[in-house]
């Protein structure tokens, strides 16, 4: 199983980025996936979830209305479209595979595979 994130970078406040997570080694369309971030010196923060079929999505209040999660099951790829970025969005962003195909409050123990992360820095 591999999850490989890309698309991070340096962007000015108010800018946009699209993160991608390419998966391999498992049946992508069968799994619930998440984006989780970690800001410098802080713990993991859940960002967004999407169910296996892609018809249910969930967002942290801090990103609701600015970020959009999506997936292309034909391409084994998860996306996070980020708009109106703020300095407080600066973090290492991870995609993660959840063991259960339903929503519940974020618990690290509910995830069995993580990517290596892609860095997003929002600064002028």
Q: In the numeric block, which tokens belong to residue 22?
A: 């390419």
Please write the tens of the pLDDT for every residue from 3-35.
999 999 999 999 999 999 999 999 999 999 999
For residue 84, the model assigns a pLDDT of 98
Assess whether pLDDT exceeds 90 at residue 43: yes
Q: Using CA atoms, how far apart are residues 108 and 40, in angstroms rounded to an integer? A: 18
For residue 101, the model assigns a pLDDT of 84
Assess whether pLDDT exceeds 90 at residue 38: yes
Q: Using CA atoms, how far apart are residues 70 and 68, in angstroms rounded to an integer? A: 7
Please write the tens of the pLDDT for every residue from 63-122.
999 999 999 999 999 999 999 999 999 999 999 999 988 888 999 999 999 999 999 999
Write down how long the chain is.
124
Is 42 in a helix, a strand, or coil? coil
71 Cα distance to chain centroid? 11
For residue 103, the model assigns a pLDDT of 84
Q: In the numeric block, which tokens belong to residue 39?
A: 């800001």
For residue 75, the model assigns a pLDDT of 97
Is 105 in a helix, a strand, or coil? coil
Q: Using CA atoms, how far apart are residues 33 and 72, in angstroms rounded to an integer? A: 12
Q: Using CA atoms, how far apart are residues 26 and 38, in angstroms rounded to an integer? A: 26
């Amino acid at each position: 199983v591999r999850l490989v994130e890309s698309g991070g970078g340096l962007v000015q406040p108010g800018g946009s980025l699209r993160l991608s997570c390419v998966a391999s080694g498992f049946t992508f369309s069968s799994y619930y996936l998440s984006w989780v971030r970690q800001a410098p010196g802080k713990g993991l923060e859940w960002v967004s979830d999407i169910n296996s079929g892609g018809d249910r999505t969930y967002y942290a209040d801090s990103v609701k209305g600015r970020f959009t999660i999506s997936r292309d099951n034909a391409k084994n790829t998860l996306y996070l479209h980020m708009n109106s970025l703020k300095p407080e969005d600066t973090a290492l962003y991870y995609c993660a595979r959840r063991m259960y195909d339903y929503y519940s409050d974020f618990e690290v123990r509910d995830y069995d595979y993580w990517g290596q992360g892609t860095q997003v820095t929002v600064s002028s």
